[in-house]
Amino acid sequence: MIPDLGKYAGPVLSAYGVAIVLLVGLVVVSIWRARKVKAALEWIEGKRNG
Amino acid sequence: MIALLIRDLRLAVRAGGGFGLGLAFFLIVIVLVPFGVGPEAAVLTRIAPGILWVAALLAALLSLDRIFALDFEDGSLALLATSPLPLEGVALVKALAHWITTGLPLTLAAPVLGFLLNLDGPAYPWLLASLALGTPALSMIGAFGAALTVGLRRGGLLLSLLVLPLYVPTLIFGAEVVRRGAEGMPVTTPLLMLAGITVGGFALLPFAAAAALRVNLR
Amino acid sequence: MIALLIRDLRLAVRAGGGFGLGLAFFLIVIVLVPFGVGPEAAVLTRIAPGILWVAALLAALLSLDRIFALDFEDGSLALLATSPLPLEGVALVKALAHWITTGLPLTLAAPVLGFLLNLDGPAYPWLLASLALGTPALSMIGAFGAALTVGLRRGGLLLSLLVLPLYVPTLIFGAEVVRRGAEGMPVTTPLLMLAGITVGGFALLPFAAAAALRVNLR
Amino acid sequence: MLTVTDLACARGGVPVLSGVSFAVPAGGVLILRGPNGVGKTTLLRTLAGLQPALSGTVDFPEDQGAYASHADGVKATLTVTENLTFWAQVHGSRMPDDILATFDLETLRDRMAGTLSAGQKRRLGLARLGVIGRKVLFLDEPTVSLDAFSVRLFADFLRDRHLAQGGLAVIATHIDLGIDAPELDLTPFKAGPQTTGGSDEAFL
Amino acid sequence: MLTVTDLACARGGVPVLSGVSFAVPAGGVLILRGPNGVGKTTLLRTLAGLQPALSGTVDFPEDQGAYASHADGVKATLTVTENLTFWAQVHGSRMPDDILATFDLETLRDRMAGTLSAGQKRRLGLARLGVIGRKVLFLDEPTVSLDAFSVRLFADFLRDRHLAQGGLAVIATHIDLGIDAPELDLTPFKAGPQTTGGSDEAFL
Amino acid sequence: MSIWEYANPKKFMGWTAPLVPWLFGLAGACLIVGLVWGFFLTPDDYKQGSTVKIIYLHVPSALMAINAWFMMLIASLIWLVRRHHVSALAAKAAAPVGVVMTLIALFTGAVWGQPMWGTWWAWDPRLTSFLILFLFYLGYIALWAAIEDPDTAADLTSVLCIVGSVFAVLSRYAVNFWNQGLHQGASLSMDKADHVANVFYIPLLVCIAGFVLLFIALVLLRTRTEIRVRRMSALIARTRPTEVTT
Ligand code: HEM
Ligand SMILES: Nc1ncnc2c1ncn2[C@@H]1O[C@H](COP(=O)(O)OP(=O)(O)OP(=O)(O)O)[C@@H](O)[C@H]1O
Ligand SMILES: Nc1ncnc2c1ncn2[C@@H]1O[C@H](COP(=O)(O)OP(=O)(O)OP(=O)(O)O)[C@@H](O)[C@H]1O
Ligand SMILES: [Mg+2]
Ligand SMILES: [Mg+2]
């Protein structure tokens, strides 16, 4: 499946690997924090109104 | 404004005022480098212009947080802000005082320290010229950074982080002047650029610094 | 003592506490040197071990005045001195906290910055080892210097002046380890010396620092 | 003449006081009262223009305001005289000859300010007010650390020199200054949770 | 039990007080009086062992002294509770459950100390005294910036908790604390120019 | 209704809510298509071999790293002139995204440089000015983190962003100048994009689109989070001092 990368397999794969890890990491962290903050805010709003 | 300048200079030379310590730091960095790099003369000659400029920059940097922090802590800055002096003028005067207590002695001492690093003979006048032209810019840019971080307790290192990238152009042109001077190449272009940065900085940055001070005094 | 350590670490990571800024300074010095010295890879490779160690030393140095000064100013230090904790323990813990917030991150980041200076391949493990062994000594020696200057307002630069000569042996052996590592020479002797300085420093300097603190609190 | 109309002010982005209105005539004093944390410091800083008001107006002759708090800009490594001369020069005024006597600082005139005791340093900070020639003073706990004698010195200065020359003052204090002046208790003006105008208002 | 015998003390190398003698029994308070600059701060620092005496002796149970002044070691970036817990841990004591209530800090418990008003911060500084479990307190103007209500809180704490448990205190202040205690005016003990013992004595 | 109405935090929360998932979906689709296409279905370059595949990550991330700073500059100006909280918070939200983009560009460039130039890092003008950009990002983020009051932080970081931009341009020029004087330069040229054949070009465009969309989605999401944080602290502040938790 993986195309033959020849002698440059190392650089190419590590570039893809690190870039994807960084991107996915950023997305995951952003979403995780968004969820956390949203929950905390809803809790506070609920307490204020209820 | 003259009164402010005189006061700042007087404070600097009084006990604990820090006069001469920038110079000492400059000296010590220059002395440490051969310990780290090793004593070979050829290598030292090669890196001398760069190291001298980097050391001058670090020495200027280390005393930046004095520019406003002390006056902020004891309330003087708030009082100055409500005084008839324009805050832009205050920023300008304080940068000037910083230069007189740091940049100027550093410039005068640099040729002596050049010997320690085996700097090439023809480079000495250019070392002096580039530092004399460039260190005022370091003080003014630094005053801007100090104004940004004045509200933070011990903003010292944050200040370094903010200011150092702003120092890059000055450093490049300054070191380039000395290097070209050492190799007998023409130095006009980098020297002009250096002058441009200094003039531009003194024309514009006092306004940015005053704006930052106003925000921090709020 | 654990409580003190935890408090110091907590203060460091809170706003304005300065965690990570030592690291940033390290990074920036390493970046600045090529701007000054010029971009030639061969020259950079040659001076990389020395510059890396000098930069690490300067980064440690800049955050030294936080070790005691803040606690002195707000009176905490006087209160700690009259508390059941021995002042020697306080000095030790504070040096430790300084190392955890400065020396440790610096050590971990150094290999990455080695790239920027074109450090030779075989030198990397030795760079790590020498910094891991040497930076604790920098923190402990620095804590002693900070204890000496704690009573002075903005003793920052004076502190540098006092501490830098004390750093010279650590610097020489540390840079030597890396340089020998880069050239494939045996590194045991300088490594042992480095370890000796660290162990000796931690055994003796807390007492000196505590004595200095007592004098300054008077 | 100081006129404050429907002022609201905030600390750390949170409204602290609202609906404060008062007027102080030339030659008058207003004493601010209120328990710790009610917002005296905040109000004085707002009046002096050191922080923006949330709403409402503060009106007094331009360039006549002066603020003084614990941090009174005294430099430890300047002498008493040097400290005062500096502020006089900054304000373009001359230092009155008798100001040192007024605050009983004559014997201390050549001492470094850093070697003064707490009360002596405070007197120096107050003496600055007599030097800068400003008419509208905003004073935050001016008599902290002063002994009874020095409090009287201060009251005399205020009455006989400042107010007599048409100045006015707003003073926050917890003690009795020995000045006959109207008092304003800030407790009723405490901002409720609904006060509008906070910098975070857009987020509510 | 605190006994002071013929004490002389100096500030900046200059003798300030001499011949001070007094004793405070367990459960007792001594209030130091005297005009600004007479040497109250100097005396308290000497008693607490923060600076050496020129001559004379200070005697109280070891490891029982605690000194408190304006600078009360409150960290701006720690919360009120974190500040107090830290000092409790350092002294190996437990934080009493009601100490926050005693100083009316309950609603502020999770606030960063840096965001407190002057008086609130002062209350926090005083609460520290209730946490460290020391018996012999040396307090330098403890009620600066406090309103009348908070001064009473402090007096109650001192009387009902500290003194009642056998503690004692020496307090320098310019105001009336509402505590019934003997006072000592330091004016008569002012060191004359002949007082011996200054660090520069060898040069006279 | 003026266009600025959309910058009111409440309105902003309203109209961005349905947008975010779509943007993430679209960005993900573009990225998967572009990267899979580029990685599996394009031939190797005759000169660079398979390393040419790195272009699909390197170029879009380098583009976005610069554009993120540009966006922050504009948002900062809007904040200083019109004082719309959302623009300040958007600038704050974009900075970490920009850093990650810069890191990706730096890293992919470095591993590409090893086979192409024989070195991980060279002090070439382009690389150098990127490193400086990275430092500006770090300083900007550190300043945000260091200041407690959010409005003060917004003001000061905005001023920093503007002054920093001027100096970034200046350094770019300075670095150019510096390297011409000293460096052989030729081996570092990166003008290959002009010659990139269509086989490489189209997937590259898809990847760029993916990065742009991802950037927008992330900034919106993070801005929403920042708004919520502000709202939270506003609510907590208003309930003071009767009860405070969390
Ligand atoms: C750490 C190393 C590197 C960094 C920081 C870096 C940075 C950059 C930057 C800032 C751009 C400009 C993006 C734009 O504005 O269009 C760029 C584009 C590009 N880079 Fe790199 N680069 C690095 C290494 C490399 C290497 C080793 C190669 C290949 C030999 C390479 C090939 C390219 C190409 C083909 C482009 C797009 C063409 C263009 O815009 O002219 N880069 N890179
Ligand atoms: N940074 C901040 N964030 C939130 N609240 C704050 C901040 N700073 C102060 N406050 C609160 O604002 C209120 C007003 O404080 P202020 O200092 O004006 O009070 P004050 O009347 O001067 O009190 P004191 O008599 O104790 O000096 C206090 O309740 C204080 O806790
Ligand atoms: N470094 C110094 N050098 C010389 N004299 C000093 C120094 N520091 C303080 N003094 C003097 O020592 C005397 C005692 O000061 P101290 O601070 O003990 O007074 P105090 O009674 O606490 O006054 P206050 O009520 O104003 O706080 C003062 O007259 C002061 O001017
Ligand atoms: Mg107050
Ligand atoms: Mg005193």
Q: What is the 3-state secondary structure (H, E, C) of F58-70?
A: HHHHHHHHHHHHH
Look at residue F115 and tell me if it is in a domain: yes
The β-bridge relationship of strands D168-172 and D136-140 is parallel
Q: Give the Cα separation of F245 and C129 in Å (integer).
A: 45
Report the pocket of ligand 3 as residue ranges, CB < 6 Å: D 115-120, 145; E 11-12, 14, 16, 34, 36-42
Q: In this structure, which ligand is nearest to the CA of E69?
A: 5
Instruction: Taking residues E1-24, report their average pLDDT.
Output: 88
User: Do B and F have ≥3 inter-chain CB pairs under 8 A?
Assistant: yes
Q: Would you say residue B105 has pLDDT above 50?
A: yes
Look at residue F14 and tell me if it is in a domain: no
Instruction: Taking residues F186-199, report their average pLDDT.
Output: 49
Q: Would you say residue B153 has pLDDT above 70?
A: no
Q: Would you say residue D195 has pLDDT above 80?
A: no
Per-residue pLDDT at F212: 95
Residue B155 binned pLDDT confidence (cut-offs 50, 70, 90): low
Length of chain F: 246
Residue B154 binned pLDDT confidence (cut-offs 50, 70, 90): low
Q: What is the DSSP letter of B121?
A: T
Per-residue pLDDT at F245: 33
Least confident of B167-171, E123-127, F195-199, F241-245: F241-245
Closest C-alpha to ligand 1, atom 23: F109
Q: Give the Cα separation of B190 and B175 in Å (integer).
A: 9
Q: Would you say residue F119 has pLDDT above 80?
A: no
Residue B138 binned pLDDT confidence (cut-offs 50, 70, 90): very high
Residue C69 binned pLDDT confidence (cut-offs 50, 70, 90): confident
**Do the Cβ atoms of F204 and F196 come closer than 8 Å?**
yes
| Percent share of chain B, pLDDT over 70 | 96
Look at residue A41 and tell me if it is in a domain: yes
Other beta carbons within 10 Å of B57: 29
Give tens-digit pLDDT for F62-96: 999 999 999 999 999 999 998 888 999 999 999 99
Cα A26–Cα A29–Cα A34 angle in degrees, nearest 5: 125
Residue F116 binned pLDDT confidence (cut-offs 50, 70, 90): confident
Domain boundaries, chain B: 2-217
Which domain CATH number covers F152? Answer: 1.20.120
Q: Would you say residue F188 has pLDDT above 50?
A: no
Residue D12 binned pLDDT confidence (cut-offs 50, 70, 90): confident
**Which run of H or of E encompasses B178?**
helix B156-183
CB F202 less than 6 A from any atom of ligand 1? no
Task: Determine phi and psi for B107, rounding to 5 degrees.
Answer: -60, -45
Instruction: Taking residues E164-179, report their average pLDDT.
Output: 88
Q: Would you say residue F157 has pLDDT above 90?
A: yes
Q: Who surrounds ion ligand 4 at CB < 5 A? A: D 41; E 118
Task: Determine phi and psi for D102, rounding to 5 degrees.
Answer: -55, -35
Q: What is the DSSP letter of E95?
A: P
Look at residue A42 and tell me if it is in a domain: yes
Instruction: Taking residues B34-60, report their average pLDDT.
Output: 88
Q: Would you say residue C16 has pLDDT above 80?
A: no
| Number of structural domains found in chain A | 1
Residue environment code for B113-129, b if the CB has 16+ CB neighbours within 10 A, otherwise e: bbeebbbbeebbebbbb
Per-residue pLDDT at B147: 94
Question: Cβ contacts (< 8 Å) between F85 and chain D: which residues?
Answer: 202-203
CB F190 less than 6 A from any atom of ligand 1? yes
Between chains, do B152 and C33 touch, taking CB under 8 Å as contact?
no
Look at residue F2 and tell me if it is in a domain: no
Residue F246 binned pLDDT confidence (cut-offs 50, 70, 90): very low
Look at residue A45 and tell me if it is in a domain: yes
Per-residue pLDDT at B206: 95
Look at residue A13 and tell me if it is in a domain: no
Q: Closest to E37 (Cβ–Cβ): which among D39, D41, D119?
A: D119
The β-bridge relationship of strands E168-172 and E65-68 is unpaired
Look at residue A14 and tell me if it is in a domain: no
Q: Would you say residue A9 has pLDDT above 90?
A: no
Q: Would you say residue F190 has pLDDT above 60?
A: no
Give tens-digit pLDDT for A10-21: 778 888 889 999
**Do the Cβ atoms of E107 and C101 come closer than 8 Å?**
no
Give tens-digit pLDDT for B170-211: 998 998 898 888 888 888 888 998 999 999 999 999 999 999
Between chains, do C10 and E78 touch, taking CB under 8 Å as contact?
yes
Q: Checking phi first, is residue C184 left (phi over 0); if not, alpha (psi -120 to 50) or beta?
A: left
Order the strands of the E2-11 sheet from edge to edge: E14-24, E2-11, E55-59
When the pLDDT of each residue in chain E is averaged and rounded to a whole number, the result is: 86
Q: In this structure, which ligand is nearest to the CA of D174?
A: 2
Helix, strand, or coil (residue B89): helix
CB D33 less than 6 A from any atom of ligand 2? no
How many alpha carbons fall within 13 Å on the CB side of residue D185?
Answer: 4
Alpha carbon F225 to its chain's center? 18
**Do the Cβ atoms of B153 and C70 come closer than 8 Å?**
yes
Helix, strand, or coil (residue E35): coil
Q: Give the Cα separation of D143 and D147 in Å (integer).
A: 8
Minimum Cα–Cα distance from E108: chain F residue: F241
> What tokens were used for F46?
């005759």
Per-residue pLDDT at F182: 36
| Percent share of chain F, pLDDT over 70 | 83
Between chains, do B161 and C63 touch, taking CB under 8 Å as contact?
no
Q: Would you say residue F189 has pLDDT above 50?
A: no
Q: Would you say residue B98 has pLDDT above 60?
A: yes
Q: Give the Cα separation of C41 and C34 in Å (integer).
A: 9
> What domains can be seen in chain E, in order of their start residue?
2-190 (3.40.50.300)
**Do the Cβ atoms of F118 and F188 come closer than 8 Å?**
no
Q: pTM for the complete prediction?
A: 0.87
Domain assignment of residue F83, given as a range: 21-233
When the pLDDT of each residue in chain B is averaged and rounded to a whole number, the result is: 88
Instruction: Taking residues F113-137, report their average pLDDT.
Output: 82
Look at residue A4 and tell me if it is in a domain: no
Between chains, do D13 and F237 touch, taking CB under 8 Å as contact?
yes
Q: Would you say residue C209 has pLDDT above 90?
A: yes
Q: Would you say residue B43 has pLDDT above 90?
A: no
Per-residue pLDDT at F236: 78
Give tens-digit pLDDT for B22-35: 888 888 888 888 88
Q: Give the Cα separation of F155 and A11 in Å (integer).
A: 42
Helices B87-98 and B188-217 pack at an angle, to 10 degrees, of 130
Burial of C58 (0-12, 13-18, 19+ CB in 10 A): buried
Size of interface C-E (CB pairs under 8 A): 65
Task: Determine phi and psi for D199, rounding to 5 degrees.
Answer: -65, -20
**Do the Cβ atoms of C120 and C47 come closer than 8 Å?**
no
Instruction: Taking residues B85-106, report their average pLDDT.
Output: 93
> What tokens were used for B141?
């840019």
Residue F183 binned pLDDT confidence (cut-offs 50, 70, 90): very low
Instruction: Taking residues B68-96, report their average pLDDT.
Output: 89
| Number of structural domains found in chain F | 1
Task: Identify the CA nearest to E48 among candidates B153, C122, C78, D27.
Answer: C78
Q: Give the Cα separation of A38 and A45 in Å (integer).
A: 10
**Distances B103 to B58, B138, C90, C155, E202 between C-alpha atoms, Å:** 11, 8, 38, 19, 43
Question: Cβ contacts (< 8 Å) between E145 and chain D: which residues?
Answer: 36, 141, 144, 174
**Do the Cβ atoms of F131 and F65 come closer than 8 Å?**
no
Q: Which chains touch B (3 or more CB pairs under 8 A)?
A: C, D, F
Instruction: Taking residues B124-138, report their average pLDDT.
Output: 92
Give tens-digit pLDDT for D34-62: 888 899 999 999 998 888 888 888 998 88
Per-residue pLDDT at F187: 35
Residue environment code for E182-198, b if the CB has 16+ CB neighbours within 10 A, otherwise e: eebebeebbbeeebeeb
Look at residue F167 and tell me if it is in a domain: yes
How does DSSP assign B183-195, residue by residue?
Answer: HT---HHHHHHHH
Per-residue pLDDT at F180: 53
Per-residue pLDDT at F94: 95
